[in-house]
C-alpha cells in the first residue's frame, strides 16, 4: 500500500502476532496503520518500514511496551454495564449493617434521584435473608438491589408496590418470595428479574439516560483495552438505546449480540421470540452491519450454584436440595431447532453439570457443522461433556473472573470436595479441541480483562490476592498465550468476526491496546493499559 498522510508507524513495541491456534507467544517490533487498518506488521528494520519513513509518515515510539489486539469481552451485558456504573456498589460489603450504611450515605447525597439502584449484593452478606423490611426504614423511595450474579433482585416495599408485584403470579422459571400470609417479602429470583424488574425499570428510564449509560460503558471499556463485546441478553429496551446512540454519534465499539429468549408460558411464545431474532439478524448481520449485529439467541438454562439454583446431576451436598433446569430439554429442543435451521447461533447459559449435559445434547441433535454454537459459563462439567464440546464444535464461553477463589469459599460445602475438583475445567475444554472465548459477564463481575486473565492463568484471586486462598483447580489453568488469544481471536471467532478483528494482521481493523506489562501470568495484576486504539484512532490514553 502506498504511504499516505493518514498512515502511522508504531515502532519499538512488542506486537503480539498470535493466531487462534497459537499456544506460544510471538512478537513483532513494528506495525503500520493506514485508513483504520493494519497495513504492515513485522520487523522495525524492514524495507517496508523504511519506505514509510522516507515518505514522512508519523512515527509513534512505544518505548518497548506490549501491544495486544483490542480485547473483546465475549460475554457481557452492554446497557446493564453502563447503568451499573451509576449504582450504589455493595461489593465486598461485610454484612447488613454495612449495606444499610452505604445505601443511607448514597440516599443523603442524591436527594433528587427517583429510585435508589444498587448492585453487588450476595446472599451470604445477609445470611441468606433478603426482606423488604430490612430496607424500608432507610428511605421512602423505591430501592432495588441487584445480586452480584443478577439472578435475583432484593427490593424494599416501595419498589414492590410500584411494580405491582403483590398481585402477580410467579412467572415460568421465576419465584416471588412471599411470607406466611402470602405477601411479597422482598426477593425476586431468576426469571422474575428478566420478566418483571428489568422491563419495569426499562419503561420508567428515559432514553437519554440509557444512551448516557451506554457512553459510560464504552468509556469504561476503552480504559481497560476493550474494543469489542458480545452482548448476552439483548432485548428491545437495550436495542432501542444502542440504535439511538449509533444514529446520534456513532458507536466506537464493535458489538455482536444474542437475543434473550424468555421461558414464557408456551412453545408458541418462545418461538415468536426466536422469529424476532431471525428478523433482526436479517437486518443486522456481517454483510449489512458488521460492527453492530444480532448473531443469535441466548437461553438461560439454569441458575447459579451459590443460590442452589444451578441444575446439578446430583443434589447439593449442603442441603440435599435438587434443582431442575429452568429450561427442560422439551422446552429447549424446538427453540434450538428453529434457530439453527435459520442460521442463528445459539448461546446456552449452563452452569451446573446437568444443565451443561442438556445443552450439549440439544446442540448435538439440532446444530449443524460450522454454526459455532456456544455454551456460556460451564462452571461444573462432567468429563464426557467437556470432551464433547470440541467434538461438536461448540465454543466454550468462559468467565475466569467467576472462578476467583475469593468468591468460591462456600463451594466445597455446597458441592462436596469431589465435585469441586471438576469446577472451571478450562484447559480440559481446550485440550479436547474446543475454541475458548473469554468474557466477564459484567456487570455480574469486574469487566477489566487483565485481572480476568490473571485468574485464568494462575487460578489465584485477583479480588483478594493477599488473602491466602489456594488456587482453584490449578490443573485447569490456561497458559498466558492461550488466555490472551481467548479474549481476542477466540472471542472474534466465536461470533464469525475473525476475518476483521481479534488479531494483529495485515488487512484487519487497527483495534489494539498498548500495555505496560511483563509477559508473565503472575505479573498481570501489575499490568496497565496505557492506550487503546479503535479503527486506527486513539480512543483512550492513561
Q: Do residues 230 and 256 touch, judged by C-beta distance below 8 A?
A: yes
Identify whether 541 is preceded by a cis peptide bond (ω within 30 of 0): no
**Per-residue pLDDT averaged across 199-203, rounded?**
90
Residue 229: pLDDT over 60: yes
Give the Cα-Cα-Cα angle 274, 276, 279 (nearest 5 degrees).
110
What pLDDT sits at residue 23? Answer: 58
Residue 40: pLDDT over 90: yes
Q: Do residues 392 and 293 touch, judged by C-beta distance below 8 A?
A: no
**CATH top class, domain 294-327+337-478:** alpha beta
The count of other CB atoms within 10 Å of the CB of residue 265 is 10
**CA distance to 117, 185, 193, 309, per residue, from 175 (Å):** 21, 11, 9, 11
Burial of 169 from C-beta contacts in 10 A (0-12 / 13-18 / 19+): exposed
Distant-in-sequence, close-in-space partners of 490: CB < 8 Å, separation ≥ 6:
20, 74, 395, 435, 436, 437, 438, 502
Following DSSP, what letter does each residue of 493-532 receive, concatenated?
HHTT-TTTSSS--TTSB--EEEEE--S-GGGGGG-EEEEE
**Per-residue pLDDT averaged across 255-259, rounded?**
98
Q: Which helix (H) or strand (E) segment is 217 a member of?
A: helix 207-223
3-state SS, 125-175, equals: HHCCCCCHHHCCCCCCCCEEEEECCCCEEEECHHHHHHHCHHHCCCCCCEE
pLDDT above 90 covers a percentage of the chain that reads 90
pLDDT band of 21, cuts 50, 70, 90: low
What pLDDT sits at residue 231? Answer: 98
**Per-residue pLDDT averaged across 121-136, rounded?**
95
What pLDDT sits at residue 172? Answer: 79
Q: Do residues 524 and 484 touch, judged by C-beta distance below 8 A?
A: no
Q: Do residues 427 and 475 touch, judged by C-beta distance below 8 A?
A: yes
**Per-residue pLDDT averaged across 418-433, rounded?**
98
Instruction: Tell me if domain 1-64+501-541 and domain 84-204 are identical in fold.
Output: no
Residue 56 φ then ψ, to 5°:
80, 20
Following DSSP, what letter does each residue of 296-348 receive, concatenated?
EEEEE----TTTT-S--SS--TTT------SS-HHHHHHHHHHHHHTTPEEEE
**Among 394, 476, 494, residue whose Cα is nearest residue 437:** 494
pLDDT 10s digits, 73-104? 999 999 999 999 999 999 889 999 999 999 99
pLDDT band of 25, cuts 50, 70, 90: confident
Distant-in-sequence, close-in-space partners of 279: CB < 8 Å, separation ≥ 6:
none
**Per-residue pLDDT averaged across 162-179, rounded?**
94
pLDDT 10s digits, 272-312? 999 999 999 999 999 999 999 999 999 999 999 988 989 99
pLDDT band of 5, cuts 50, 70, 90: low
Sign of the C-alpha dihedral, residues 137, 139, 140, 142? negative
**Per-residue pLDDT averaged across 255-264, rounded?**
95
- Domain parsing of the chain, residue ranges: 1-64+501-541, 84-204, 294-327+337-478
**Among 217, 218, 76, 71, residue whose Cα is nearest residue 512:** 71
Distant-in-sequence, close-in-space partners of 540: CB < 8 Å, separation ≥ 6:
219, 222, 223, 529, 531, 532
What pLDDT sits at residue 160? Answer: 98
**Domain 84-204 belongs in CATH node 3.30.450.90:** no
Distance spanning both ends of the chain, measured CA to CA: 32
What pLDDT sits at residue 364? Answer: 98
What pLDDT sits at residue 300? Answer: 95
What pLDDT sits at residue 106? Answer: 97
Quote the mean pLDDT of the chain.
95
pLDDT 10s digits, 361-388? 999 999 999 999 999 999 999 999 999 9
pLDDT band of 194, cuts 50, 70, 90: confident
The pTM score is: 0.92
Q: Directed axis angle between helix 329-341 and helix 353-366, to 10°? A: 40
**Rounded Cα distance, 287 and 290, in Å:** 6
Residue with grid cell 471467532, as numbered in its chain: 493
Write the CATH number of the domain with boundaries 1-64+501-541. Answer: 2.30.40.10
What pLDDT sits at residue 465? Answer: 96
**Per-residue pLDDT averaged across 341-364, rounded?**
98
Residue 39: pLDDT over 70: yes
Q: Where does 13-144 have alpha helices with state H?
A: 47-54, 78-84, 96-109
Q: In 352-369, which positions are buried (b, 16+ CB within 10 angstroms) versus exposed (e)? A: bbbbbbbbbebbeebbee
pLDDT above 70 covers a percentage of the chain that reads 98
What pLDDT sits at residue 265? Answer: 83
**Among 311, 306, 353, residue whose Cα is nearest residue 147:** 306
What pLDDT sits at residue 173? Answer: 80
Amino acid at each position: 500500500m502506498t504511504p499516505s498522510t493518514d498512515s502511522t508507524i508504531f515502532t519499538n513495541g512488542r506486537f503480539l502476532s498470535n493466531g487462534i491456534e497459537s499456544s506460544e507467544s510471538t512478537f513483532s517490533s513494528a506495525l503500520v496503520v493506514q485508513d483504520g487498518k493494519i497495513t504492515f506488521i513485522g520487523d522495525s528494520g524492514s524495507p517496508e518500514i523504511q519506505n514509510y519513513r522516507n515518505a514522512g509518515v508519523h512515527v509513534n515510539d512505544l518505548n518497548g511496551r506490549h501491544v495486544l489486539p483490542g480485547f473483546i469481552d465475549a460475554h457481557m451485558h452492554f446497557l446493564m454495564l453502563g447503568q451499573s456504573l451509576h449504582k450504589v456498589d455493595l461489593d465486598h460489603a461485610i454484612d447488613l449493617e454495612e449495606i444499610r450504611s452505604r445505601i443511607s450515605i448514597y440516599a443523603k447525597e442524591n436527594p433528587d434521584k427517583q429510585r435508589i439502584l444498587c448492585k453487588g449484593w450476595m446472599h451470604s452478606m445477609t445470611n441468606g435473608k433478603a426482606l423488604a423490611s430490612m430496607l424500608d426504614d432507610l428511605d421512602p423511595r423505591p430501592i432495588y438491589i441487584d445480586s452480584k450474579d443478577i439472578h435475583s433482585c432484593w427490593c424494599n416495599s416501595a419498589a414492590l408496590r410500584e411494580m405491582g408485584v403483590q398481585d402477580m403470579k410467579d412467572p415460568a422459571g421465576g419465584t416471588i418470595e412471599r411470607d406466611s400470609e402470602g405477601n411479597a417479602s422482598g426477593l425476586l429470583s431468576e426469571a422474575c428479574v428478566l420478566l418483571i424488574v428489568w422491563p419495569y425499570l426499562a419503561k420508567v428510564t428515559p432514553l437519554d439516560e440509557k444512551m448516557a449509560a451506554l457512553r459510560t460503558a464504552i468509556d469504561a471499556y476503552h480504559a481497560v483495552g476493550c474494543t469489542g463485546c458480545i452482548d448476552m441478553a439483548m432485548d428491545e429496551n437495550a436495542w432501542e438505546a444502542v440504535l439511538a446512540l449509533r444514529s446520534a454519534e456513532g458507536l466506537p465499539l464493535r458489538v455482536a449480540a444474542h437475543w434473550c429468549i424468555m421461558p414464557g408460558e408456551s412453545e408458541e411464545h418462545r418461538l415468536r421470540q426466536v422469529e424476532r431474532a431471525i428478523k433482526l439478524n436479517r437486518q443486522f448481520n456481517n454483510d449489512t452491519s458488521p460492527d453492530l449485529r444480532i448473531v443469535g439467541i441466548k437461553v438461560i438454562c439454569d441458575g447459579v450454584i451459590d443460590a442452589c439454583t444451578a441444575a446439578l446431576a446430583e443434589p447439593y451436598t449442603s442441603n440435599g436440595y435438587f434443582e431442575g433446569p429452568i429450561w427442560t430439554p422439551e422446552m429447549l429442543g424446538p427453540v434450538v431447532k428453529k434457530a439453527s435451521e435459520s442460521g442463528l447461533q445459539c448461546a446456552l447459559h449452563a452452569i451446573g453439570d446437568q444443565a451443561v449435559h442438556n445443552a450439549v445434547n440439544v446442540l448435538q441433535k439440532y446444530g449443524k457443522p460450522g454454526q459455532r454454537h456456544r455454551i456460556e459459563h460451564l462452571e461444573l462439567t462432567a468429563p464426557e461433556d467437556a470432551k464433547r464440546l470440541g467434538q461438536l464444535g461448540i465454543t466454550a464461553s468462559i468467565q475466569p473472573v467467576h472462578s476467583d477463589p475469593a468468591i468460591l469459599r462456600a463451594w466445597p460445602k455446597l458441592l462436596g470436595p469431589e465435585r469441586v475438583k471438576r469446577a472451571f475445567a478450562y484447559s480440559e475444554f481446550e485440550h479436547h479441541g474446543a475454541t475458548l472465548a473469554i468474557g466477564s459477564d459484567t456487570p455480574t463481575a469486574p469487566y477489566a480483562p487483565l485481572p480476568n486473565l490473571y485468574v485464568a492463568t494462575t487460578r489465584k484471586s485477583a479480588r483478594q490476592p493477599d488473602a491466602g486462598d489456594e488456587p482453584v483447580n490449578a490443573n485447569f489453568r490456561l497458559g498466558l498465550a492461550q488466555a490472551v488469544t481467548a479474549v481476542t481471536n477466540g472471542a472474534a471467532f466465536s461470533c464469525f468476526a475473525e476475518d476483521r478483528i481479534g488479531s494483529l494482521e495485515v488487512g484487519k481493523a487497527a483495534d489494539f491496546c498498548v500495555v505496560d506489562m511483563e509477559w508473565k501470568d503472575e505479573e498481570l495484576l501489575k499490568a496497565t493499559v496505557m492506550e487503546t486504539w479503535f479503527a486506527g484512532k486513539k480512543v483512550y490514553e492513561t
